[in-house]
Amino acid sequence: MANPTDPNHRPTKAERKESARLEREKIQQQMSARNRNRRIGLVLIALAVVAAVVVAFVVKPGGSDLGAQASPQALIDGAGDAAKAAGCSDVQETPNYQNAPGKDPDIDHAHIGDTTIPTPPPLSEYATIPPASGPHDLSPAGAGVYDRPPDVYRTIHSLEHGGAIIWYAPSVADTPEIQAIRTFYNRADNVGQAKVIVAPYDFPDQGAQGSLPEGVQMALVAWHRLQTCAQPSLAVAFDFTSQYSNAYPERAYIGVAREQNSSM
């Protein structure tokens, strides 16, 4: 029998045919592997695209569609996680105006223009920024979504009447989350908007106190209650207003406004 390792050996016709067959099989196996890898790659790319879409619409929802479609109960259920993600403080009980003694001193309820407070005090005299109590205009500001800052002294009176305010920094006015908040509180169904104000906090004539504190993009305010967030969040905002504005029937009012049943 011929030795194929012999350098002088010349392959027979049968050997050449077998070698060609083996080479064809090798090429076919390589092509099959490449096609299989290509199909797997396409599947992985498609799954990545689907995952990105899910993240965009579920993990980080935003915009007017969210505000129009969000379930109030789902927002309440997700508020705890949302507060952590948005860098929110706990709801704080705020001090009295000028640290006046007592649980509910009259100075907190004074009307600007009377003998005690003849002119509007600078915001620097209030216990918190934004104010959560203190001297205020004779007329409360009406509920609603404002494009421009309402009169800040009228908004304090709104708090006294059981209202809540969602203040946001002007720099985030066009973000999807603020647009969602604005849309949500413009809905036709009752989400407590009869006693909620949504507005930018921007009073440049008041110096540093005319802007939200550094690092705060959203401040939620009720009478003697304040919660601040590093980022706006519809879930956190609604969780706050549904409890601290006296107008949402599905949750008990837990605020402390003296005139909680008065209109805005």
pLDDT tens for the 264 residues of the chain, in order = 445 555 565 667 666 666 666 666 666 666 666 666 666 665 455 544 444 433 343 334 446 688 889 999 999 999 999 999 999 999 999 999 999 999 999 999 999 998 889 999 999 999 999 999 999 999 999 999 999 999 999 999 999 999 999 999 999 999 999 999 999 999 999 999 999 999 999 999 999 999 999 999 999 999 999 999 999 999 999 999 999 999 999 999 999 999 999 999
pLDDT of residue 32: 67
Region of residue 162 (left: phi > 0; alpha: psi -120 to 50; beta: else): left
For the chain, domain boundaries:
63-244
Parallel, antiparallel or unpaired: strands 218-222 and 164-168: antiparallel
Distance (Å) of CA 89 to CA 105, 126, 137, 240, 251: 26, 20, 29, 12, 21
pLDDT of residue 66: 83
pLDDT of residue 52: 41
pLDDT of residue 55: 37
**Please, are residues 91 and 226 in contact by the beta-carbon 8 Å criterion?**
yes
**Please, are residues 83 and 236 in contact by the beta-carbon 8 Å criterion?**
yes
Chain centre distance of CA 43 = 34
- Specify the DSSP class assigned to residue 96: P
Q: Is 109 helix (H, G, I), strand (E, B) or coil?
A: helix
pTM: 0.76
Q: Is 168 helix (H, G, I), strand (E, B) or coil?
A: strand
**Please, are residues 66 and 78 in contact by the beta-carbon 8 Å criterion?**
no
Parallel, antiparallel or unpaired: strands 92-93 and 164-168: unpaired
